[in-house]
């Protein structure tokens, strides 16, 4: 276990040393939220959001890029050290290489999709042009990536079951491909939707991921435990600059990558049911947005004045830091419940 704590601290130190120069670099690239002169264009589409968030214009977006790069680099480096010093890389699956491949592919591929989406938003590429990315196109790309990952989970790691406490284990066979694809896409977008307040998504993810770290360490799964430890170190450094008032935002790069990878870790650990509890805040956030979307589409009216839930609470008069802190507390409770259900038969 000490090697994981070492990995976490090394990751935190590396990210802490690089993050301020990285923020300055993002300013130079103008990789920022909409500036003052572009606010009027946004107010027509999202007046409630801009009422509470227009003062954040100019804050750098793309903080997830640094965490992705440092996590991948350290993960590869530490795995090589395991091999060099002839330390066993214990896994619960027949192929250690496949497990590592799935984690890294998810982390990197969804990050690249997020980079593209961030660029289109920042530089206002039009949706009807090649560089623009409509929501349905984005979902298609996400689904294709998620299906590839699901196929590897099913074919190479031989995962095709879900365990539901009190009800037992259910073998899904080929239906697992559909199930896991849905889970990955859902959580990628859930974290993206939740990433609307300073420190909200990153703080909730940090807590939920710590819960999965406990599970992975308890079953002695080295590839997953090591990855989570390194990722946590980067998240802690990022959260320091992301809490209110934020100096840096995840952007779609971090949100899509982190959400999809969080889901894949839950699937690799065989805790699909626990995943929905650990990530309870993400589930509630995406559910509120989905209900709003379906209501507008089929009922021709809004189910809520605004969505998702965190924006609704702002609309009702809650202060941003209060919402974030209370969601963190709820996330701790969700993590405890998740751990409780994870050990049930």
- Helix (H) and strand (E) counts in the chain: 14, 2
Residues 6 or more apart from 177 whose CB is under 8 A from it? 147, 150, 151, 154
Query: Are the C-beta atoms of residues 323 and 310 closer than 8 Å to each other?
Result: yes
Q: Which position has the token pair 């990022």?
A: 238
Q: Does the annotation flag 118 for ligand binding?
A: no
Q: Does the annotation flag 86 for ligand binding?
A: no
Helix 200-218 vs helix 280-294: crossing angle, to nearest 10: 130
Residues 6 or more apart from 140 whose CB is under 8 A from it? none
| 184/201 Cα distance (integer angstroms) | 17
Give, in order, the Cα–Cα distances in Å from 142 to each of 117, 150, 257, 294.
Answer: 12, 12, 10, 20
| 100/83 Cα distance (integer angstroms) | 14
Q: Which position has the token pair 């993960």?
A: 75
HEC assignment per residue over 246-304: CCCECHHHHHHHHHHHHHHHHHHCCCHHHHHHHCHHHHHHHHHHHHHHHHHHHHCCCCC
> Read out DSSP for 137-167?
HHHHHHHHHHHHHHHHHHHTS---EEEETTT
324: its two tokens? 């974030």
Half-sphere exposure of 102 (CA within 13 A, CB side): 31
Which residues make up each annotated binding site?
192, 252
Which residues make up each annotated binding site for Mg(2+)?
192, 252
């Amino acid at each position: 276990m000490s090697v994981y704590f070492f990995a976490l601290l090394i990751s935190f130190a590396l990210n802490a040393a690089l993050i301020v120069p990285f923020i300055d670099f993002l300013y130079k690239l103008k990789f920022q939220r909409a500036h003052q002169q572009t606010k009027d264009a946004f107010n027509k589409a999202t007046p409630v959001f801009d009422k509470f968030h227009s003062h954040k214009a100019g804050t750098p977006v793309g903080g997830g890029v640094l965490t992705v790069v440092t996590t991948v680099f350290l993960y590869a480096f530490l795995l090589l050290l395991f091999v060099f010093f002839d330390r066993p890389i214990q896994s619960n699956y027949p192929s250690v290489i496949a497990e590592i491949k799935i984690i890294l592919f998810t982390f990197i591929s969804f990050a690249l999709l997020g980079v593209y989406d961030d660029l289109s938003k920042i530089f206002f590429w039009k949706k009807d042009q090649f560089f623009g990315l409509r929501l349905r196109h984005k979902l298609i790309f996400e689904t294709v990536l998620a299906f590839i990952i699901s196929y590897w989970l099913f074919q190479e790691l031989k995962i095709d079951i879900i365990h539901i406490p009190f009800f037992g284990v259910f073998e899904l066979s080929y239906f697992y491909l559909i199930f896991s694809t849905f889970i990955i896409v859902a959580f990628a977008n859930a974290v993206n939707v939740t990433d609307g307040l300073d420190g909200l998504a990153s703080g909730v993810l940090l807590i939920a991921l710590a819960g999965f770290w406990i599970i992975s360490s308890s079953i002695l799964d080295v590839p997953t435990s090591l990855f989570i430890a390194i990722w946590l170190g980067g998240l802690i450094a990022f959260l320091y600059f992301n809490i209110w008032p934020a100096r840096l935002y995840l952007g779609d790069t971090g949100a899509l990558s982190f959400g999809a990878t969080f889901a894949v870790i839950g699937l690799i650990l065989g805790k699909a049911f626990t995943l929905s509890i650990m990530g309870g805040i993400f589930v509630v956030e995406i559910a509120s947005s989905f209900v709003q979307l379906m209501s507008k589409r089929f009922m021709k009216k809004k189910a809520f004045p605004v969505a998702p839930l965190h924006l609704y609470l702002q609309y009702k008069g809650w202060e941003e830091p209060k919402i974030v802190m209370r969601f963190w507390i709820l996330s701790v409770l969700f993590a405890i419940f998740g751990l409780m259900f994870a050990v049930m038969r």
